[in-house]
Amino acid sequence: MKKIINGKRYDTDTARKVATCEHGDGPRDFRYFCESLYCKRSGEYFLAGEGGPMTKYARPVGNARTGGEGIFPLTYEQAQEWAEREMDADDYETEFGPAPESDERVVLSVSMDAATADRIRKAAAAAGISVSALIASKFTD
The 10s digit of each residue's pLDDT in 12-69 is 999 999 999 999 998 889 999 999 999 999 999 999 999 999 999 999 999 999 999 9
Question: Residue 122 falls within a domain, yes or no?
Answer: no
Question: Cα separations (Å) of 80 from 17, 25, 41, 112?
Answer: 14, 26, 17, 21
- How many structural domains are present in the chain? 1
CA atoms within 13 A on the CB side of 57: 20
Question: Taking the complete model, does pTM exceed 0.75, yes or no?
Answer: no
**pLDDT given for residue 40 in this prediction:** 96
Domain containing 42 equals: 2-101
Question: Residue 10 falls within a domain, yes or no?
Answer: yes
Question: Residue 74 falls within a domain, yes or no?
Answer: yes
61-62-67 Cα angle (round to 5):
20
**pLDDT given for residue 140 in this prediction:** 73
Question: Residue 26 falls within a domain, yes or no?
Answer: yes
**pLDDT given for residue 107 in this prediction:** 76
Question: Residue 46 falls within a domain, yes or no?
Answer: yes
